[in-house]
Structure 1
Amino acid sequence: MNEDQPSVENGCVLWSNGMDLFKDAAERNNFLPTGLEGIDMLLGGGLRKGHLTEITGQSSSGKTQVCLYSASHVAARHMGVVLYLDTSNSFSPSRIAHIVDELPISLIKEPKDMRLKRVMSSIVCESVFDVFALFEVLDQLEASMNDKVNSGGNKICLLIIDSVSSLLAPIIGGKNSQGRSMMISVAMILKKLADKHNLSVLVTNHTVGGNGAPKPALGESWKAVPHVRLMISRDHGSNMYTATVLKHTLLASGRHMKFVVP
Structure 2
Amino acid sequence: MAPLNSLEKEYPLIDANFQTFCASHAIYSVEDFLLHDLDALFASASNPSTSHRLKQGIHQLLSIIDALHPPLINGLQLMEDAKQNKHVLSTGCEGIDALLGGGLRAGQLTELVGPSSSGKTQVCLMSASTFAKHKGSVIYLDTGNSFSPQRIAHFVGQSSDCVSGNQADRRSLQKVLDRIICYPVFDVYEMFDMLHQLKINLTSEIVKSDRHVQLLIVDSISSLITPILRGNGPQGHALMISAGFLLKKLAHEHNIAVLVTNHVVGGEDGNSKPALGESWKSVPHVRLLLSRDCGGNVCNISIIKHPAMASGRTASSIRLFV
TM range (shorter): 0.7 to 0.9
Q: Which amino acid aligns with 1:251?
A: M
Q: Distance in 1 between the 2:203 and 2:84 partners?
A: 27
Structural mapping, 1:11-160, within 5 Å? 30-78=87-135, 80-102=136-158, 111-160=168-217
Structure 1 length normalisation: TM-score?
Answer: 0.84
Aligned to 1:243: 301
Q: Which moved more, 1:209-218 or 1:158-167?
A: 209-218
Secondary structure of the structure 2 residue equivalent to 1:161: strand
For the pair 1:254 / 2:312, whether they are aligned, the reply is yes
Post-superposition shift, 1:238? Answer: 1.8
* Native 8 Å contact 1:26 1:45 kept in 2: no
CA offsets 1:211-237 (integer angstroms, 9 cap, x no match): 132100000110000000000001232
Post-superposition shift, 1:36? Answer: 1.0
Secondary structure of the structure 2 residue equivalent to 1:58: coil
Whose radius of gyration is greater, 1 or 2? 2
Moved over 4 A (4+): 25-29
For the pair 1:221 / 2:262, whether they are aligned, the reply is no
Q: Distance in 1 between the 2:176 and 2:148 partners?
A: 13
Q: Which moved more, 1:175-184 or 1:193-202?
A: 175-184
Post-superposition shift, 1:102? Answer: 1.1
Post-superposition shift, 1:175? Answer: 5.5
Identical-residue share of aligned pairs (%): 52
Higher relative contact order (CA 8 A, sep 6+): 1
For the pair 1:181 / 2:238, whether they are aligned, the reply is yes
* Native 8 Å contact 1:51 1:200 kept in 2: yes
Q: Which amino acid aligns with 1:121?
A: D
Give the RMSD, CA atoms, in angstroms: 1.9
Aligned to 1:232: 290
- How many residue pairs get matched? 231
* Native 8 Å contact 1:190 1:201 kept in 2: yes
Post-superposition shift, 1:178? Answer: 0.7
* Native 8 Å contact 2:86 2:255 kept in 1: no
Q: Distance in 1 between the 2:150 and 2:83 partners?
A: 30
* Native 8 Å contact 2:218 2:260 kept in 1: yes
Aligned to 2:250: 193
Post-superposition shift, 1:149? Answer: 4.5
Q: Distance in 2 between the 1:134 and 1:186 partners?
A: 8
Structure 2 length normalisation: TM-score?
Answer: 0.69
Q: Which amino acid aligns with 1:205?
A: N
Q: Which amino acid aligns with 1:241?
A: C
**Structure 1 or 2: more helix by fraction:** 2
Aligned to 1:5: none
